[in-house]
Chain A
Amino acid sequence: MPFLMTTLALALPVLLGSLLLNLLVPARTAARAALVLGNGTLIGLLLIPQILRGLHALGAPLAFLPTALLAGALITAAAVAHLARAHRTELTPSPAPAGSPMPTSHRVLFLFIAAMIIARVATLGLEILWRPLFPWDATMHWATKAKVWFELGWMAPFVENHVWLNMGGEGVYTDRHAGYPATIPLLQVWMNLATGYWDENLMNLPWLLCFVALGGAFYGQLRAAGVGALTSLAFTYLLLSMPLLNIHVALAGYADLFLGAAYCAGLMAFHNWLTTRRRWQGALTLYFALACLVIKNEGAVWVMTFLPALALSVRTRHKVAKLLLLFVLTLVLFAILAHKNPVLLSYALTHITELHLSGFAGIIQAIWLHDNWHLIGYLFAAVIPLGLLLPGAYTQRYAGLVVALSCALGLFLFIFLFTAFGEGASNFTGVGRLCLHLFPGLLFLCALISNELLLRDRAADSKFEPLAQKM
């Protein structure tokens, strides 16, 4: 029974997000299945806690059945809408999607890489299934809320230590970070509600799902951006084999994996929306940007990076209008941030310090010396300058992505070099986790540039081949 209920609890977010997204994504999109399942699963994983929360706000206790029924109703509606559309499409058949078949040699390499990814998923999954909740912050301020809410059946308020003392603990609970968003604890509550008991292994399976979904979304969006299947899968493998990312799955319990996945999914959709102007990519961008706000407080900082990129993308010839739009959007976001998390904002403003050189050394070590990310630091250092050789790459084709990522990197460096959080880089307590938020998106940019470089090289090669044969 626990196995069945756990499967159901995992299947519902997958079906919910995927079937909803399935309605939006055109039939002839490249790697549609990966795109829909990857992004859809991420959507579902982040939507289920909001449904739980919404029902709770309406006065219902935290319970599996009402949430499952509502999710089931949405799934049914999406499935019916899909079938109706499929029926209409059947009456007016469209030609099968064109695509050159992959050569056998490429297929062998493709299958080899896919097998490596599957092996990784199995290893990480078993670690989740066997080891009880392990990481520090998970038992300090994430699962604490989940445990209380699950056991009580309602979302008892969590307050800071001093508030708890002043209130004498009456009707309130406290932990180390009472103000963190409820999404991740509610996801754990959801898993436990399914089994009916507190299970520190099964409740962490959504982390594995998030990992797989990130891979699917990454592969799907690369394919949607026109990258070949083999190159897309190779970069997906690079993403899914990064050690610190793997650790955040194996030792599930932190929100950083979800934030990294949502930010990356938002950036990828944003890039493809800018280049294709397809509305569903725009909708995905908006969804994942908003999702960043409800996963972890730092998400608000990353959401801000979309604003300058968005302002650049507005199709107006008036630069003043663009700047005005940027200004208004920034004000709106600051207002949201100040309202949602005044502590974070005041922290940012009051903790500015002089340059931390130790923070700089910490960043260098974390990226280029330690094995947090394998060779990714070297890949960035090689590919991003090479992108300058591609005319219009940074100023036109990838401009939006580059602006957003540059802002994110600027903020990342500012946080660790010019604020009191510099210690998080010098003692490695913060730098790795913030890299986890940024590196999937950076790797996506790298994949696009690498693909373009390889294609140009191949084009040059095809000119060279006849000459070589003559020789």
Chain B
Amino acid sequence: MHAIGQRTQLARMIKITGWSLLIGAAALIAALTLFYAPTASDSPAPPITWGTSSGKVIAGTASIVDEMTQLALNPQGTGVVTLAMEPVAARNYPFVHIALEQASSELNVILSWNAPHSKGASRLYRLENKALASQWIATTELRGWSGDIGTLSLVIMGQPGETVLIRDFSLHPASPWRQLQAIYSDFTAYTSWNRAAMNTHTGVINVSSFYPVPLGAALFLLSTLAYGALVVLSRGKLRFRLVNVALIFLANWLILDAVWQNRLWQQLADTYHTYAHVESRQRRSVGPDAPLFRFASQVKSHLAEDSRVIVASNDRYNGMRVAYYLYPFNVYWSVHDPQVPFDEFLHAGDYIALVKPSAFRFKGGRGILVAPERADLPVELVFSNGNGTLVRLK
């Protein structure tokens, strides 16, 4: 009997929490679409959709595959398609939809637009969201999306000959449904780890319209209010119980966490794709640091066991990473002091690894290292390649 009573109580609790969440969600959706949606124009603007007959291929080669446009990138690894349209008012088109298939995560996709008859530089937005299968972009968040738009292009950069299926590329007028789709796209956006990842996780990309956390808090507040209202309307049959509020809070947390978990899974798939096929000790030879690692490995092959090596670079990240790869050799790399220490601290035989970009220049003909605002250093070249140069002090 006791167990049945508990089950009934739990069922009632879940039911009331569920209703509270549903009402809260409905209120939040209504608020988002009524008060925060872009204003629709007086005369409804029709959507403008990409098609081989209603658009232009500027770079690459287009063909039709399964009723979609297959774009093969040109020998420079670029494909450009442009929507065929008359000049339109930017504010009448607050949403762009882009849906690409067979697009690798290394692909760079850029949205480019111009004012009519403009001879100036195009406005550009590089899509941060790597989930390219379908994404809605709120153009109100794009810097420079104003006035009239004469041309709108999609620039795709990847490997030469790489093919991408364009399922949709279109401009859309304001509508509550598209507003919700844009919010959903923002929430499911995926960007790979960046250098600031250890310090902050904003949960948004540059074109997101809303931060997920305040929305989650708003949903919690509205659901709790809805729960309070249900209690009041029950005329004494229900009592306001904190455990229901706790369940509402937990449900909101789970929603936010599902968004985060989804992002983690996408990241994991990306990480797997990049590294998992490589033996763990060789993983530095793939991924974004590979050129720096190769350069450092090459430097190491020229060093004796007791060599001192000074790493100089104008790019703090590049310099720091190469210095790390050079350990356990005796490495000097400094953030705030001069990249190459003053002459009194240098010894003949010291190596200097110049990691690009660097203010130091090796002048082969004269056998010197030239740097701004300091005396030239007599050096001999050990090797030089696209990532940097290794010299030895004479």
A residues at B contact (CB < 8 Å): 103-105, 116, 119-120, 123-124, 126-127, 130-132, 134-137, 139-140, 143-144, 147-148, 150-152, 161-162, 164-166, 168-169, 173-176, 197-202, 234, 238, 241, 243-244, 246-248, 250-251, 254, 366, 368-372, 374-375, 377-379, 428-433, 450, 453-454, 457-458, 461, 464, 468, 471
- Is there contact, CB below 8 Å, between A165 and B332? yes
Could you name 25 residue pairs across A and B whose Cβ atoms are closer than 8 Å? A103-B3, A103-B7, A124-B264, A127-B264, A127-B271, A130-B271, A131-B271, A139-B321, A143-B324, A148-B328, A150-B328, A161-B337, A162-B337, A164-B332, A169-B330, A251-B197, A368-B217, A371-B203, A371-B212, A428-B199, A432-B199, A433-B199, A454-B246, A457-B242, A471-B237
Chain A residues within 8 Å of B321, by CB: 139
CB within 8 Å of A: which residues of B?
3, 6-7, 10, 193, 195-204, 211-214, 216-217, 220, 236-237, 239, 241-243, 246, 249-250, 252-253, 256-257, 260-261, 264-265, 267-268, 271-272, 275-276, 280-281, 283-284, 287, 289, 308, 317, 320-321, 323-324, 327-328, 330-335, 337, 341, 345, 347
Query: Which residues from B are CB-within-8-Å of A136?
Result: 195, 198, 317, 320
A166 vs B346: C-alpha distance when bound (angstroms)? 10
Nearest Cβ on chain A to B303's Cβ, whole angstroms: 13
Contact B203 A461 (CB under 8 A): no
* Contact in complex: A238, B253 (CB < 8 Å): yes
Closest to B276 in A: A130
Q: Is the interface of A mostly helix, strand, loop or mixed?
A: helix
Report yes or no: B280 in contact with A200, Cβ–Cβ below 8 A. yes
How far apart are B16's CB and chain A's nearest CB, in angstroms?
13
Select B217's contact among A126, A165, A201, A375, beta carbons within 8 Å: A375
Contact B330 A105 (CB under 8 A): no
Residues of chain B lying within 8 A (CB to CB) of residue A432: 198-201
Q: How far does the alpha carbon of A247 sit from the alpha carbon of B264 in the complex, in Å?
A: 9
Q: Is the CB of A144 within 8 A of B332?
A: no
- Beyond known contacts A103-B6, A375-B217: 19 more, CB 8 A cutoff: A127-B264, A131-B271, A139-B324, A152-B328, A165-B341, A199-B280, A241-B253, A241-B257, A241-B260, A250-B264, A366-B200, A368-B217, A369-B211, A369-B214, A371-B201, A371-B202, A371-B213, A374-B257, A432-B201
**B198, B216, B330: the one within 8 Å of A247 (CB):** B198
Residues of A within 8 A of B276 (CB): 130
B198 touches A248 (CB 8 A): yes
Cβ A135 vs Cβ B197 within 8 A: yes
Assess whether A247 is in contact with B334, with CB atoms less than 8 Å apart.
Answer: no
Cα distance A173–B332 when bound, in Å?
8
Chain B residues near A379 (CB-CB < 8 A)? 249
Q: How far is the CA of A143 from the CA of B327 in the complex (A)?
A: 10
Q: Which residues from chain A contact B212 at a C-beta distance below 8 Å?
A: 371
Q: B267, A168: Cβ atoms under 8 Å?
A: no
Give bound CA distance, A432 to B197, whole Å: 10
Cβ of B201 and Cβ of A244 under 8 Å apart? Answer: yes
Check A454–B332 contact: CB distance below 8 A: no
Cα(A198)–Cα(B328), bound, Å? 11
Q: Given A454-B243, A454-B246, are A375 and B236 neighbors across the interface (CB < 8 Å)?
A: no
B337 contacts across to A, CB distance below 8 A: 161-162
Q: What CA separation (Å) do A251 and B201 show in the bound complex?
A: 13
From residue A230, how far is it (CB to closest CB) to chain B in Å? 10
Contacts of B3 in A (CB 8 A): 103-104
Contacting pair B243 A457 (CB below 8 A): yes
Q: Chain B residue with minimal CB distance to A113? A: B250
Cα distance, A247 to B214, chains bound together (Å): 21
Given A105-B6, A123-B268, A375-B256, A370–B198 Cβ distance below 8 Å?
A: no
Query: Judging by beta carbons under 8 Å apart, are A234 and B250 in contact?
Result: yes
Given contacts A165-B345, A366-B200, A200 and B283 within 8 Å (CB-CB): yes
- In the assembly, what is the distance between CA of A169 and CA of B333, in Å? 12
Pairwise interchain contact A147-B328, C-beta atoms closer than 8 A: yes
Which residue from A198, A246, A433, A457 sits with its C-beta under 8 Å from B264?
Answer: A246
Most buried by A among B10, B202, B327: B327
User: Are B236 and A471 in contact (CB-based, < 8 A)?
Assistant: yes
| Cβ 8 A contact of A199, one of B199, B272, B281 | B281
Query: Contacts A123-B265, A199-B280, A461-B239 known; A370 to B335 CB distance under 8 Å?
Result: no
Complex partner residue of B253 from A174, A375, A450, CB under 8 angstroms? A375
Q: Which residues of B contact A372 (CB under 8 A)?
A: 200-201
